[in-house]
Amino acid sequence: MHSIEPSGLTQKFPPDFVWGVATSAFQIEGAAAEDGKGPSIWDRFCRLPGAIADHSDADLACDHYHRWAEDLDLVAGLGVDAYRFSVSWPRVRPDGDGAWNGKGLDFYERLVDGLLERGVKPYLTLNHWDLPDALQCRGGWAERNTVHLFVEYALGMQERLGDRVAAITTHNEPWVMATLGHEIGTFAPGIRDRAVAMQVAHHLLLSHGLALQALRAQGSSANLGIVLNLSPVHAATDTEADQASARLEDGRLVRWYMDSLFKGRYPQDVIDFLGPDMPRIEPGDMDVIATPMDFLGINYYSRSVISAAGPWDVHSSGRTVTDMGWEIYPEGLTELLLRLHRDYPVPPMYVTENGGAFKDQFEEGRVRDPQRTDYIARHIGAVADAMRQGVPMAGYMVWSLLDNFEWASGFEKRFGIVHVDYANQLRTPKDSALWYQRFLRAQGALRSQAVSDTTRARRGRRDVAIAGA
């Protein structure tokens, strides 16, 4: 186990580097049918026998819908600059079109104002997977009409919150929605059809570009971008078969999204592979997808290792794995950032998610999670390495603020730096949260020239909030 002190990382980040924590609506809010919220595809998916490992659902989750103020105190107490959260589309517009739900909109209004009052910048994500179920009944993301409804939703949210949020992300991890949701079927809506999945991928990208154009036409003051889950893809061996499989996987995971967003075309090797499963693309779509953005968010957890013969044995590398069974591979983040910077005209990049699921140990009211602290510290170090090699990075955000509903894994896997006792909803900052707070304090000391007196006063108040947590 590495022991990494915050001071070891201090001088590596510029004063305007944005530090944050992230969550998503479905994973924490609960209040699944309260105040006019409509069902999402995940509400329905949770009811399918065997879909969720522990047979749970997110009806209550972390009850954040009611405990948001306490949670924002925790966010502020960490001393972060930014909080990345998502809006539940079916909470604010239950059917996906038609009437808007005032009570749902008011909730996000309170959340954003609560963040600003605490001196934390809101980073809003429009789509973190919880599509209104009413739209799925009409074909979901496979239908081109959903693209236009997404643009309406984006404009509606900008109208309510656009003047106060620092950033708007269109989609979180389109690969996951398309591939796990529509090709492999282990995520909502649970479809297993490659042609449908690729049509979904195309529509997600198209709706991203159209939303950016519409938001800008409406005078958006927020930075606009998308968040992708990306990894370096390595071949398990030097054999030609493994190399070819890894190359194709890189095409499907990385280049399908990066080439379209930054070069306005899909990669030819993936087009050849898909054959009749290629999506329908209308004239002008690719130019829309390549609409310039203000930032690119990258969610990084591990590398991907591909073997043509079947699943690669993660233990064969001899590296530690997380509770998700994901290999801990921080240098993959440096490799990925260098490659993106080299191969694409990227805007400022953030690591918008990074963190690990581990089994925590409770000891006299304290939650010990040295592996998570080590994971986070080593990945922050990997970002610093990329920056030293010339990659201009804008920020880093830990996944996740709270233990929460980890999709098909239910509540069994804990990613939070704050422990949640699901029996009574008690929140306890883990050692990793306290480490992050100390680390950010050390960063803050370096910023002293740039940080205004007002911000410093706020930072003082935040220390109190977490000390009492």
Q: In the numeric block, which tokens belong to residue 202? A: 């195309």
DSSP bridge partners of 122: 83
DSSP bridge partners of 353: 299
What is the closest distance, in whole angstroms, from the C-beta atom of residue 23 to ligand IFM in the complex? Answer: 9
User: What is the spatial distance between Cα 432 and Cα 438, in angstroms, rounded to a whole number?
Assistant: 10
Assess whether the previous peptide bond of 189 is cis (omega < 30° from 0). yes
Binders of ligand IFM in range 263-302 (CB under 6 A) = 299
CB 30 within 8 A of CB 63: yes
Nearer to ligand IFM, 256 or 266 (CB): 256
Nearer to ligand IFM, 24 or 179 (CB): 24
Catalytic residue among 173, 183, 327, 406: 173
Binders of ligand IFM in range 366-425 (CB under 6 A) = 399, 406, 415
322 binds ligand IFM (CB under 6 A): no
What is the closest distance, in whole angstroms, from the C-beta atom of residue 127 to ligand IFM in the complex? Answer: 12
443 binds ligand IFM (CB under 6 A): no
What is the closest distance, in whole angstroms, from the C-beta atom of residue 199 to ligand IFM in the complex? Answer: 22
Nearer to ligand IFM, 266 or 411 (CB): 411
Known catalytic residue: 353? yes
What is the closest distance, in whole angstroms, from the C-beta atom of residue 451 to ligand IFM in the complex? Answer: 31
Catalytic residue among 183, 249, 353, 406: 353
Nearer to ligand IFM, 136 or 299 (CB): 299
Nearer to ligand IFM, 42 or 107 (CB): 42
Radius of gyration (Cα) for the chain, nearest Å? 21
Nearer to ligand IFM, 58 or 151 (CB): 58
What is the closest distance, in whole angstroms, from the C-beta atom of residue 324 to ligand IFM in the complex? Answer: 7
40 binds ligand IFM (CB under 6 A): no
Alpha-carbon distance values, 138 to 51, 131, 146, 223, 278 (Å): 22, 12, 9, 32, 21
173 binds ligand IFM (CB under 6 A): yes
Say how many CA atoms lie within 13 Å of 79 toward its Cβ.
Answer: 22
Select from 134, 181, 401, 170 the least CA-distant residue to 291: 170
Q: Which member of 71, 285, 353, 403 binds ligand IFM (CB under 6 A)?
A: 353
What is the closest distance, in whole angstroms, from the C-beta atom of residue 173 to ligand IFM in the complex? Answer: 6
In this structure, the number of other CB atoms found within 10 A of the CB of residue 65 comes to 22
What is the set of active-site residues?
Answer: 173, 353
Sites of contact with ligand IFM (CB under 6 A): 24, 27, 173, 299, 353, 399, 406, 415
